Amino acid sequence: MKTRNLMPTRRQLVVGAASVIAMPGIVRAQARKSAKVSVGRQPYAAGNSPVTQRMIGEKMLEKAAADLGYDLTVDWRDYPSALPMVEAFISGNLDIGMWGNTPIVRLLAQGQPINLLSVGEGHMRFVLAVRKDSPIKSIADLRGKTVGALVGGDPYNALSQMLLCELGNADPRSFDIKVVNTPTQAQAASIPDGMDASIVIYPAFLKAQAEIGIVGVMNSFGYSEAGYDGPAGKGAGHLLPGAKKSKFFPDGYYLHRSFWICSDRIVGADAGIGEAFLVASQRAVAELVKEKPGDVATSVQKYWGLPPELGAKAVEDEVLFQRGWTWPTEGDASAITQISQFMVEGKLIPKPLEWDKVKSAFAKASPLLKKAYDATGKVPAEGGFTDQKAKDLRGLPAWQADQWKAPA
């Protein structure tokens, strides 16, 4: 009787090994979850514009989601300002959005279920702008005047902080200043008839300055602009008297931070999407900080409308590019609480936010932030979060929020 050889041949071993190697990929493909996510951005604003433009162009969110088991379809939506985005989010028509401190404070004060993901942009320069022939040379000259600002948004809040630090009261009505709502930055920068001045974000200011010759008087960083003539001197670059009185110094009168916000689904049932968004946005920032500011500005020239040399100024102001990372810190969070106190003084909300309510807004995203931080190279190193020499307010990251201390 002939004995059967039960030992596998070399060919069988190779084929079998190849099948084993291929199986995980097949399993992953079969297990991948199809999902959709809607993301709102403000491309006419500051740092979020080039960051999201890079994410869109290179499909960075889709790629990061694929690594976490998702076949993701992303619906990117452009908004001119925060208000329509907030309305879409509250009505359940937007999964992820980005807006500044003022609407965040309002939503938290109303008990809305929002989750703060990461810093979307920050340290934006807001400029008090006037026409080139204006008699307004300092903030004191705004008494009895009409000022354009996005009411309920960061421009209005920046104005209130300038008034508080320089004139002693955050409420424009105390100085007979009439504030007119300017829903878009293009409108604010044009300083239309009926307005004596306006508060304009830096990219829009630079564009209008080049095109129609508007003049800056002062900015939210606490320095004079070219049209200033007052106690600090004449012209641009003077540190203004009240700047160091601000709780946000060295950031300026106003600690501008805009945060990415998301629904419970993005940090709950589909937490992989939230993690992927954090990974993708951090990778985009890491790429952009290696490039020349003018090149970064060129990538969003169709939105900012600025030549590279002017757009570079807005890029250089951006806290994301100064830091090189997107993670929210204790300083960023404390700004929300402190700004809520100032919003009470400005008659925008009845009482300031409790610190625990602010901390809880970061709670659901905190584990995802830590995973994304680890996955993208742990930038910055641990000491970078509390660097005392940094030019912006920082602190421990959100995944260490149990050690956060309430602001004084």
pLDDT at 9: 52
pLDDT digits (tens, 9 = 90+) for 264-285: 999 999 999 999 999 999 999 9
For all residues of the chain together, what is the average pLDDT? 90
Phi-psi region of 324 (alpha: psi -120 to 50; beta: other; left: phi over 0): left
CB-based contact 329:396 (threshold 8 Å):
yes
Phi, psi for 294 (deg, rounded to 5)? -65, -35
Is the pTM higher than 0.85? The answer reads no
Mean pLDDT across the stretch 58-86? 96
Mean pLDDT across the stretch 172-190? 94
pLDDT digits (tens, 9 = 90+) for 348-372: 788 999 999 999 999 999 999 999 9
pLDDT band of 26, cuts 50, 70, 90: very low
Mean pLDDT across the stretch 173-184? 95
pLDDT at 101: 84
pLDDT at 81: 85
CB-based contact 35:71 (threshold 8 Å):
yes
The answer, yes or no, to whether residue 343 has pLDDT greater than 70, is yes
Mean pLDDT across the stretch 178-189? 93
pLDDT: which is higher, 247 or 301: 301
pLDDT at 375: 98
pLDDT at 347: 74
pLDDT digits (tens, 9 = 90+) for 139-157: 999 999 999 998 877 899 8
Lowest mean pLDDT among 249-253, 306-310, 318-322, 351-355: 249-253
Among 105, 84, 72, 87, smallest CA distance to 42 is for: 84
pLDDT at 289: 98
Look at residue 223 and give its three-state secondary structure. Answer: strand
Which domains, and CATH codes, for the chain? 30-122+256-403 (3.40.190.10), 126-245 (3.40.190.10)
The answer, yes or no, to whether residue 20 has pLDDT greater than 90, is no
pLDDT at 346: 65
pLDDT band of 22, cuts 50, 70, 90: very low
First to last CA, the chain: 93
pLDDT at 393: 83
